Structure 1
Amino acid sequence: MSDATIEEAKAALRAAAHKKRAAFHPSLRDEAAKAAAAHFLDTIPLRRDEVIAGYWPIRDEMDVKSLLGRLMDTGQPVCLPVVLGDEQPLELRLWEEGAPLYEAGFGTLAPAEEAPRAEPDVILMPLLGFDRHGTRLGYGGGYYDRTLASLHKRPRLIGFAFALQEIDQIPRDAHDVPLDAIVTEQGVRHFEKAPVT
């Protein structure tokens, strides 16, 4: 499949995935987020020194704010992404206890500019869709792709999504890094590495 064909297919999948996620009733979202957070804490092993890159949810993404708070309460280092520019990787800033958060692009919040930078061991990723191979359907801006390419080590990639966001198959480009696991309100699923399609 050519790059242009892959991008066309992904654009169609994105449009459908946006609608599907937006249609998930708001009254069910909080319970789903709580269940997903519990599954993550029960299932994903973390070393105390591992840096976790979270995200501040926008629109109808699964809300991980309470999970990030619980991780910080146990002393787990947490960082949040900042959008610096259209063609740049995300900057990951440590969120230190009690530090305020500021507008960080696209409606997200992150620590102030003077906050320490971090290289994460684990990245919690928002997404529009995922498939059974761990392929992630993002928003198409390439921010996470550029960020992963800029890191010195490959972190574990853990997607957070509602179960209804699963898609039969998402075409994968050579630069698309698959998820290691997906967390939904139904549990945690780990993925084997699949070939590029």
Structure 2
Amino acid sequence: MPDPKIEEAKAALRLKARSSRAAILNSTRPDAAKAVADHFFKAVALRPADIVAGYWRIKDEMDCQPILVRLMDTFQPVCLPVVLGDEQPLELRLWEQGAPLYEAGFGTLAPSELAPQVEPDVILMPLLGFDKRGTRLGYGGGYYDRTLERLSRRPRLVGLAFAAQELDDIPREAHDVPLDIIVTEHGARHFEPAPA
């Protein structure tokens, strides 16, 4: 059961984080996304068979398309999330080379419903904010939390963000799975696993 005080604190942080992210100049966003891609490939070692779950940017999120293009160009397996409905986990569909993408709600694109469902080894995560401990502030819908719960193994979690999205401290509840790495236009930071 979520703690009402923590949820209230997170709601206030979401307002602040949305405002900070929206204030980032549109003219700087493409260069930031390219820098994030460069830092990602330097910081995250991938085996040829590792499946990477990306996302299709919504509104002013960090664009991971430069990462997706490079992954697809090197035939690294990629999957994209599909929202099936409220209170449900995301469905992660393999995006096969040359396969078209379709509108999947919320302004996102995804492979067709006939695409194989997979479990990724790495998940690229959009976010509103992050802190120095690797706590991710999401949108509050719990989609990634529910998805991680149903996976048979824990993938590496890589948050993609603008440096301006860093917050001093985000309260963490038991269901909040911390990031392993955060990648911004300034570089990548690895986080220590949370104590058990």
Determine the structure 2 residue equivalent to 1:135. 135
Give structure 2 stretches of 5+ with no counterpart: none
Distance 1:45 1:10 in 2: 32
Determine the structure 2 residue equivalent to 1:144. 144
1:24-62: per-residue Cα shift (whole Å, max 9, x none)?
000011111100100111221000100000000010001
Q: If the length of structure 2 is used for normalisation, what is the TM-score?
A: 0.97
The answer (yes or no) to whether the contact 1:37–1:67 under 8 Å persists in 2 is: yes
The Cα shift of 1:193 comes to: 2.4
The answer (yes or no) to whether the contact 2:83–2:91 under 8 Å persists in 1 is: yes
Query: Are 2:159 and 1:172 aligned?
Result: no
Determine the structure 1 residue equivalent to 2:182. 182
Distance 2:91 2:194 in 1: 29
Q: Aligned partner of 2:117: which letter?
A: R
Q: If the length of structure 1 is used for normalisation, what is the TM-score?
A: 0.97
The answer (yes or no) to whether the contact 2:84–2:91 under 8 Å persists in 1 is: yes
Residues 5-84 of structure 1 aligned to structure 2 (within 5 Å): 5-84=5-84
The answer (yes or no) to whether the contact 2:128–2:138 under 8 Å persists in 1 is: yes
Q: Aligned partner of 1:139: which letter?
A: Y
**SS at the partner of 2:164?**
helix
1:2-29: per-residue Cα shift (whole Å, max 9, x none)?
7000000000000110011001000011
**SS at the partner of 1:115?**
coil
Determine the structure 2 residue equivalent to 1:114. 114
Determine the structure 2 residue equivalent to 1:98. 98
Is 39-48 or 144-153 further displaced after alignment? 39-48
The Cα shift of 1:195 comes to: 5.1
1:67-94: per-residue Cα shift (whole Å, max 9, x none)?
1011011110000000001010000000
Q: Percent identity?
A: 71
Distance 2:102 2:15 in 1: 29
Distance 1:114 1:162 in 2: 34
The answer (yes or no) to whether the contact 1:133–1:193 under 8 Å persists in 2 is: no
Distance 2:42 2:195 in 1: 30
Q: Aligned partner of 2:128: which letter?
A: L
The answer (yes or no) to whether the contact 2:75–2:97 under 8 Å persists in 1 is: no
Q: Aligned partner of 1:187: which letter?
A: G
Equivalenced residue count is 195
Q: Aligned partner of 1:109: which letter?
A: L
The answer (yes or no) to whether the contact 1:55–1:81 under 8 Å persists in 2 is: yes
**SS at the partner of 2:72?**
helix
Aligned CA-pair RMSD = 1.1
**SS at the partner of 1:39?**
helix
Distance 1:110 1:60 in 2: 19
Moved over 4 A (4+): none
Determine the structure 1 residue equivalent to 2:123. 123
